Structure formats: C-alpha cells, structure tokens
C-alpha cells in the first residue's frame, strides 16, 4: 500500500511553476545544439546517482505570474546530494552541478552590458546534503523536474480538424 501511495504522489503531485517563469526558461537562445532545458538536464545527469534532486525557491514560495519583462523572478536553487551514497563523491558531484548551474543561469539571464539580471535573477545556487535539509526549507522549496514542464509549442498551434 505504501508503494502505491508513493507512486501516486510522485505521479500526480507535481510542482507547478508560473507559466511565464517556464516560458523564460524555454525562451533562452540555444547554445550549440542544446536548449537551455537540455543543458540543465545534462548538468544533472553528470552527477547521476549522487544527486537526489534539484529544488527551486521561486519568489520565496509565492506563486506570482510576472508578465512584465523587466519584472525578474527571484530564484534560489538547491542541488540535493544523496547522503546514502559515498558522502565525498556525492558532495563533490552536487558542488560541481551547483557551480555549473550558476554559470549557466548567469550566462542566460545576467547582462554584463546592463549590469543586471534579465527575466530571472539567480540569488543563490547551493549544494547541500539531504541529511541536513530542514522541514522548513522543504516546505518552501519545490522540486524542479524537466518532465513536469509544459512542452507545448508557443504560441499555441491551431489543431487541424481534417
């Protein structure tokens, strides 16, 4: 029964992010052949079995739909390493992923020319062990998973009735 409950929870309880936030992530210009979202996924895959998850602290837990381009989302990222694996390898993998994510977000959303963040402001990107994540942090954070994002075409495409 526990296994079924856990599966149903993971299947149907998904973190929902504002559509305009997801759109900003999808609209980052491609670097080479990879979209921004695929670059995030690649960074996390390199950490593989040592990274338990990535959690977003978006606007301190508030669900705000920001429509103005100059109105930045405030984002904090936690890369959670698995303390049940080799502790040193897990910590190193999570630290490396956090550094790579910070660099990726800076390249995508920080304008050196304007000296400010555009669209999404990355406040922090920290790697921590799952053994030290507090209940208070867990309530505020939302797990980010690529497969939960809306991958529909933007703008919406007209369906053919023929």
In a domain? residue 8: no
> Helix, strand, coil proportions of the chain in percent (round to 5)?
45, 20, 35
**Average pLDDT estimate for 131-142:** 75
> Which H helix or E strand runs over 36?
helix 36-47
Statement: residue 1 has pLDDT above 70: no
Does the residue 24 lie in any domain? Answer: yes
Average model confidence (pLDDT) for the chain?
80
Its domain, for residue 46, covers 16-145
Residue 5 in any domain: the answer is no
Residue 62 lies in a domain: yes
Pairing of strands 73-81, 120-129: parallel
Residue 51 lies in a domain: yes
Beta-carbon contacts of residue 43 (< 8 Å; ≥ 6 apart): 97, 100, 101, 104
Model confidence over 5-26: pLDDT tens digits?
Answer: 656 555 555 457 888 998 999 9
27-55 pLDDT, tens digit each: 998 877 788 888 988 888 887 788 888 89
Number of domains in the chain: 1
Q: Give the whole-angstrom CA distance, residue 45 versus residue 38.
A: 10
pLDDT tens track for 94-131: 999 999 999 999 999 999 999 999 999 999 999 998 88
Q: Which of residues 78 and 62 earns the better pLDDT score?
A: 78
Predicted pLDDT of residue 128: 92
pLDDT of residue 5: 63
Indicate the helix (H) or strand (E) that contains 20. helix 19-26
Does residue 160 form part of some domain?
A: no
**Residue 151 clears pLDDT 60, i.e. is over it:** no
The mean pLDDT of 142-147, rounded to a whole number, is 70
Quote the pLDDT of residue 24.
92
Q: What is the mean pLDDT of residues 79-106?
A: 90
Give the C-alpha separation, 82 to 91, whole Å: 8
Q: Is 7 among the domain residues?
A: no
Residue 10 lies in a domain: no
Residue 85: per-residue pLDDT = 78
- In terms of Cβ atoms closer than 10 Å to its own Cβ (0-12, 13-18, 19+), residue 95 is middle
């Amino acid at each position: 029964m526990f296994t079924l409950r856990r599966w149903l929870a993971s299947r149907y309880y998904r973190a929902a992010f504002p559509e305009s936030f997801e759109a900003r992530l999808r609209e980052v210009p491609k670097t080479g052949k990879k979209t921004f979202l695929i670059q995030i996924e690649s960074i996390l895959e390199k950490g593989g079995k040592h990274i338990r998850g990535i959690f977003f602290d978006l606007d301190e837990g508030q669900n705000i739909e920001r429509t103005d381009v100059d109105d930045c989302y405030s984002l904090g990222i936690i890369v959670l390493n698995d303390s049940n694996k080799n502790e040193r390898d897990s910590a190193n993998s999570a630290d490396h992923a956090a550094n790579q994510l910070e660099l990726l977000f800076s390249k995508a959303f920080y304008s050196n020319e304007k000296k400010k963040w555009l669209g999404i402001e990355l406040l922090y990107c920290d790697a921590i062990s799952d053994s030290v994540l507090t209940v208070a942090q867990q309530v505020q954070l939302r797990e980010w998973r690529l497969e939960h994002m809306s991958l529909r075409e933007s703008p919406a495409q007209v369906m053919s009735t023929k």
